[in-house]
Structure 1
Amino acid sequence: MRKDELLRALEGVLEKKTFAAQDAAPATPAAVLAIIHYGDSKPCVLLTKRRENLKMHRGEISFPGGRFTQSDLTLMHTALRETEEEIGLAFGPGDVAGALQPVRTMTSNHFIVPFVTVQDRLPKLRIAQDEVAGVLDAPLIETLGTMEPDREHFRFSKTAVRFKFESNVIWGATARILKQLHEVLIRPS
C-alpha cells in the first residue's frame, strides 16, 4: 500500500482534534503516537516493548506514549512529548495526521487518545532504557492480518482481539487501536 493510498484511507476516520485532558474525565488522560513509516517502501508501524520493572503494563507491547502532565497543552502534546522521551523521535503538531477513536484500558482506567503520523523515513532512535526494553518495527499490513480473538487475556469478552509480530503478542488497548487500523486498511466498508 502506497503512502498516498494509506493517507486517503485514513482520511475519513482520523479526527482533526488535539483533545483536552478534560475529554478523558473521569479516567486518567493519556495519549500515544502510532508511527507509520515507509523505510522499505511498504508501511511499517513502530511499537515499543515496555520494561518488565515498570509499575503498570510491564512487558507489554505498546505505542510510544503515556500520561498527560500539566505541562502538556493537549493530549496531542502528551503523545509527542512521550514519543520523544521514550524513543527520541521529535515530531511537531504538523506531523500528526489526526486521531483515531480513544480507547480505555481495562485494568488501569486510562483514557488513551491514539494519534497517527505517517512518515517517509525515520531518523535514528534514541531509546530510553529505563522505560523501553526494545522497539519493534512491524510491517503494518502483515501485522494487521494476524488479528484473532484474544481468549487468553479476556476470556469473557467476545470482542477482544490480539495481533502477533514475530514472537510478540499485542493485546489490550494497543490491540484495540490496531483493530481500528485493521477496519480501515484491511476491511474497508
Structure 2
Amino acid sequence: MWELNEEFQARLSDRLKAPLPGVDAQIRMSPTPINQERFAFKERPDAKAGAVLILFHPGTGGIHFPLIQRPEYPGAHSGQVSFPGGKYEKSDRDLLHTALREAEEEVGANPSEITVLGTMSELYIPASNFKVLPVIGISFSTPRFVPEEKEVAQILSADVGNLMKQEIAVKDMIVGPNIKIRSPFFTVEDKVVWGATAMMLGELLQILEDIR
C-alpha cells in the first residue's frame, strides 16, 4: 500500500530534481500512429502555455489524486478525462501559479494547503496547440473538492496503488472524420484515460516506480 507521509514527500521531491523519464515514458502511452510533432519539439510558434496539477492527498486505501471529466462541448478535448489545469494567464507569476489557480477554479483545491514538490516533463498537445507543464503537489489533508459546473462534468479520484497495478490496455478509437487511432489507456472509476493525460500518467508512474 502506498502511504502519504513525510518519507514519500521527501523521496518524490528528490526524484523530481533528478533527470526525468521524459519522452521514453510518455511515448509508451502515446496513441498510434504516433504524432511525431509532439516529440520533436516542433510546436507551432503560436503554441499556448499551460499547466496541470497532480495533487496527491490521503484517500481510501492509500494515496489519491483528482482527475476531471470535461463536459461535452465543440472542441478538441470534449468529454475527455484530464488533470485539473489550463492556460497560463498574464496575471500568473509562473506556470506553478497557473496550475494552482486552475485547480482552485476547477475543483476547489485550496492553494494554501498544497506544497509544490516539483514538475515533470512538458508535453506538447497538437490537437489544441498547448505546451503543458505537469506540476506535482501534495496535501496531507483530504481536500473538499467541488466541481466548477461549466468546466467539470465529474471529479474522479485516482488511486495510486490501483494505477500502479494496472496492465496497460489498448483500444481502437475514432477521433475525427476518417481518423482512426489505436490508443493505450488507463481506467479510473470506469472512465477511459487516454491521450495526453495518459502520457503524463505514464511518466508519473515511472517516477513512482523509481521511488518504490
Task: Output the TM-score relative to the length of structure 2.
Answer: 0.74
Deviations 1:24-76 (A, max 9, x none): 88321000000111133510121011111263311111110001111112111
Any gaps of 5 or more consecutive residues in structure 2? Answer: 19-42
Find the aligned partners of 2:135 and 2:50 in 1 and give their Cα distance.
11
Larger RCO: 1 or 2 (CA < 8 Å, sep 6+): 2
Find the aligned partners of 2:171 and 2:143 in 1 and give their Cα distance.
38
Find the aligned partners of 2:184 and 2:56 in 1 and give their Cα distance.
21
Find the aligned partners of 1:15 and 1:147 in 2 and give their Cα distance.
28
Residue 128 of structure 1 is matched in structure 2 by 148
Residue 58 of structure 1 is matched in structure 2 by 78
Task: Output the TM-score relative to the length of structure 1.
Answer: 0.82
Find the aligned partners of 1:188 and 1:72 in 2 and give their Cα distance.
32
| Correspondence list, 1:1-189, <5 A | 1-3=2-4, 4-15=6-17, 26=45, 27-40=47-60, 42-53=62-73, 55-92=75-112, 95-148=115-168, 150-153=170-173, 161-186=184-209
Identity value in percent: 31
Task: For residue 73 of structure 1, give the secondary structure of its aligned residue in structure 2.
Answer: coil
Find the aligned partners of 1:156 and 1:58 in 2 and give their Cα distance.
17
Deviations 1:139-183 (A, max 9, x none): 1121233251545359778xx632112321111111111111211
Q: Which has the larger radius of gyration?
A: 2
Find the aligned partners of 1:54 and 1:120 in 2 and give their Cα distance.
37
Task: For residue 172 of structure 2, give the secondary structure of its aligned residue in structure 1.
Answer: coil
Any gaps of 5 or more consecutive residues in structure 1? Answer: 17-23
Aligned residues of 2:88 and 2:95 also touching (Cα < 8 A): yes
